């Protein structure tokens, strides 16, 4: 693939920001409002955990920016099966999560096209959005970077304006009155809000995963990771704090569109519709960005013979066409299967399970990071690396501890299913290439 078709630093930074912030930011203030403004402590804890992960991916990117990110690190550190396992859970989790993003876009579109509230039309629209995302990705990564950068950039500017201008309507008395409505202990409130914040920061690895389509990855992957984290952190914390000082917690926690609610208080219906348009742009960019990210992980594994070969086939311009088409078909099938109201709750459970599974690649990356930097002859550098890895591991374990038992059990069952899938793929790989056998398990 020629360099001109790859992403530069700005596009890579926006990819990280888009995948981290995603659509959650538009509902997050309402979620945090159920705990109260004491959730600021949870934001601090979550930011520290996300920063540790960012440092790991950034430093690994300076010495070994491999396509596939966590998948490549797990394969190199632990061997073939853990590498396959990492891609299996990462790809599956984000494939399902991307469907939720498409559904969110449809939800915001209903404010402009009420007919989309009809289940059949909503399903058709969701499938159309997925294939639009696939088509954009088929053009190439630079085009993806262009689309996501501008659409997310516009939405981000609006969010920044809210986080800055909103202080003019910030009422300290509302913020204080909303401090701890549930009378939780400081520890419980911090842990609960930190768990929510942990979900918000997922996607920090996006530049690492997409290293193969980023210009000068040794420089741009680490920079994009850290810059993306800084921008996402600012947006999350500033907007949540501002809205909690503008709208009483009883109203905020029951709102399905907290930003639109705040905007309607200030500038009326026009403001609410403007926020809805902003959400559509942001969610659409996230849909496109995650489609690229999951394809890169699958392509890297396929090239190593640890995922179906079709995911590694590329066109003359270097685009993994079948990778995107198969992913589009699977996401379309998930949308259709979850269109029934009776399946909505099941779909939500699958999303929660997917989030837990995503933590496994982070844990494997922590070990890779320790191996690369924790044994440095310079004691201060080694101590820093160990400290970062411990914080990142605590981040992951805290998220698992904050999940309900049913979700963790379902995630473990899904994880164990990777064994027969791996056996089938390796058997097929050996059958097709009997003379080309890779070492390791």
Q: What is the pLDDT of residue 439?
A: 43
Residue 1's pLDDT band (boundaries 50, 70, 90)?
Answer: very low
Give Cβ neighbours of residue 386 (< 8 Å, ≥ 6 apart). 370, 374
Backbone torsions φ then ψ of 113, nearest 5 degrees:
-130, 85
* pLDDT above 70: percentage of residues in the chain: 90
Instruction: Note the maximum CA span of the chain.
Output: 73
Q: What is the pLDDT of residue 278?
A: 81
Q: Are 368 and 74 in contact (CB under 8 A)?
A: yes
Which residue ranges make up each domain of the chain?
A: 3-432
Residue 22's pLDDT band (boundaries 50, 70, 90)?
Answer: low
Q: What is the pLDDT of residue 345?
A: 53
Q: What is the pLDDT of residue 349?
A: 60
Q: What is the pLDDT of residues 155-181, one digit of tens each?
A: 777 777 777 888 888 899 999 998 998
pLDDT at residue 209 greater than cutoff 80: yes
Q: Are 440 and 80 in contact (CB under 8 A)?
A: yes
Between the alpha carbon of residue 73 and those of residues 45, 222, 279, 370, 391, the distances in Å are 26, 15, 34, 12, 19
Q: What is the pLDDT of residues 248-276, one digit of tens each?
A: 888 888 776 677 777 777 776 776 777 77
Of 24 and 400, the structure prediction assigns the larger pLDDT to 400
Of 292 and 260, the structure prediction assigns the larger pLDDT to 292
Question: How far is Cα 30 from Cα 7, in angstroms, rounded to an integer?
Answer: 35
Q: What is the pLDDT of residue 257?
A: 67
Q: What is the pLDDT of residues 141-153, one digit of tens each?
A: 888 888 887 887 7
Q: What is the pLDDT of residue 2?
A: 41
pLDDT at residue 343 greater than cutoff 50: no
Q: What is the pLDDT of residues 312-341, one digit of tens each?
A: 888 877 788 999 999 999 999 988 887 765
Average pLDDT over residues 272-281: 80
Residue 390's pLDDT band (boundaries 50, 70, 90)?
Answer: very high
Question: How far is Cα 368 from Cα 361, in angstroms, rounded to an integer?
Answer: 11
Which of the listed CATH numbers 2.70.98.50, 1.20.1740.10, 3.40.50.720, 1.10.1370.30 matches domain 3-432? 1.20.1740.10
pLDDT at residue 438 greater than cutoff 70: no
Q: What is the pLDDT of residue 11?
A: 87
Q: What is the pLDDT of residues 93-118, one digit of tens each?
A: 888 878 878 887 887 788 788 898 88
Least confident of 6-10, 32-36, 364-368, 397-401: 397-401
How is residue 1 written in tokens? 């693939």
pLDDT at residue 437 greater than cutoff 60: no
Q: What is the pLDDT of residue 133?
A: 93
Question: How far is Cα 143 from Cα 136, in angstroms, rounded to an integer?
Answer: 7
Q: What is the pLDDT of residues 30-80, one digit of tens each?
A: 878 888 999 999 899 889 999 999 999 989 988 877 777 888 889 889 988
Query: SS3 letters for the chain?
Result: CCHHHCECHHHHHHHHHHHHHCCHHHCHHHHHHCCCHHHHHHHHHHHHHHHHHHHHHHHHHHHCCCCCCHHHHHHHHHCHHHHHHHHHHHHHHHHHHHHHHHHHHHHHHCCCCHHHHCHHHHHHHHHHHHHHHHHHHHHCHHHHHHHHHHHHHHHHHHHHHHHHHHHHHCCHHHHHHCCCCCCCCHHHHHHHHHHHHHHHCCCCCHHHHCHHHECCHHHHHHHHHHHHHHHHHHHHHHHHHHHHCCCCHHHHCCCCCHHHHHHHHHHCHHHHHHHHHHHHHHHHHHHHHHHHHHHHHHHHHHHCCCCCHHHHCCCCCCCCHHHHHHHHHHHHHHHHHCCCHHHHHHHHHHHHHHHHHHHHHHHHHHHHHHHHHCCCCCHHHHHHHHHHHHHHHHHHHHHHHCCCHHHHHHHHHHHHCHHHHHHHHHHHHHHHCCCCCCCCC
Q: What is the pLDDT of residue 440?
A: 46
Average pLDDT over residues 369-382: 90
Place of tokens 């942990």: 198
Backbone torsions φ then ψ of 254, nearest 5 degrees:
-100, 5
pLDDT at residue 226 greater than cutoff 90: yes
CA-nearest of 29, 22, 27 to 101 is 22
Q: What is the pLDDT of residue 348?
A: 58
* Helices 9-21 + 217-244 axis angle, to 10: 40
Least confident of 111-125, 222-236, 348-362: 348-362
- The CB density around residue 21, as the number of other CB atoms within 10 Å, is 28
Between the alpha carbon of residue 376 and those of residues 371, 381, 385, 386, the distances in Å are 9, 6, 9, 10
DSSP states of 351-381: HHHHHHHHHHHHHHHHHHHHHHHTT-SSHHH
Of 386 and 275, the structure prediction assigns the larger pLDDT to 386
pLDDT at residue 441 greater than cutoff 60: no
């Amino acid at each position: 693939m020629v360099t001109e078709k790859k992403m530069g630093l700005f596009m890579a930074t926006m990819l990280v920001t888009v995948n981290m912030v995603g659509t959650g930011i538009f509902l997050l203030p309402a979620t945090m409002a159920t705990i109260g403004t004491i959730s600021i402590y949870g934001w601090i804890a979550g930011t520290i955990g996300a920063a540790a992960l960012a440092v790991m991916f950034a430093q690994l990117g300076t010495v070994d920016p491999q396509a596939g990110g966590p998948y490549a690190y797990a394969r190199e550190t632990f061997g073939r099966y853990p590498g396959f396992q990492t891609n299996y859970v990462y790809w599956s989790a984000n494939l399902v999560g991307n469907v939720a993003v498409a559904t969110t876009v449809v939800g915001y579109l209903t404010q402009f096209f009420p007919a989309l509230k009809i289940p059949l039309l909503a399903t058709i629209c969701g499938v159309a959005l997925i294939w639009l995302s696939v088509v954009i990705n088929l053009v190439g990564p630079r085009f993806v970077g262009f689309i996501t950068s501008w659409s997310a950039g516009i939405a981000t500017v609006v969010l920044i304006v809210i986080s800055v201008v909103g202080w003019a309507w910030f009422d300290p008395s509302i913020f204080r009155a909303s401090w701890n409505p549930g009378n939780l202990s400081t520890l419980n409130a911090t842990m609960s809000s930190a768990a929510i914040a942990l979900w918000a920061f997922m996607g920090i690895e996006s530049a690492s995963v997409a290293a193969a389509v980023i210009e000068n990855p040794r420089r741009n992957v680490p920079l994009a990771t850290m810059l993306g984290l800084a921008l996402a952190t600012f947006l999350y914390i500033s907007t949540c704090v501002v809205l909690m000082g503008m709208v009483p917690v009883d109203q905020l926690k029951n709102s399905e569109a907290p930003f639109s609610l705040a905007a309607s208080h200030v500038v009326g219906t026009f403001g609410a519709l403007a926020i809805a348009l902003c959400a559509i742009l942001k969610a659409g960019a996230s849909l496109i960005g995650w489609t690229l990210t999951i394809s890169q992980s699958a392509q890297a594994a396929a090239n190593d013979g640890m995922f179906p070969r079709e995911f590694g086939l590329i066109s003359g311009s270097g685009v993994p066409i079948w990778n995107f088409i198969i992913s589009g078909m699977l996401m379309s099938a998930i949308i259709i299967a979850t269109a029934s109201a009776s399946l909505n709750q099941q779909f939500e459970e699958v999303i929660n399970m997917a989030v837990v599974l995503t933590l496994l690649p982070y844990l494997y990356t922590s070990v890779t990071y320790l191996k690369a930097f924790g044994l440095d002859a310079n004691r201060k550098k080694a101590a820093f690396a160990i400290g970062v890895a411990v914080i990142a591991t605590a981040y992951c374990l805290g998220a698992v501890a904050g999940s309900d038992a049913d979700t963790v059990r379902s995630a473990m069952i899904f994880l164990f299913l990777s064994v027969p899938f791996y056996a089938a793929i390796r058997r097929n790989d050996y059958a097709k290439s009997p003379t080309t056998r890779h070492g390791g398990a």
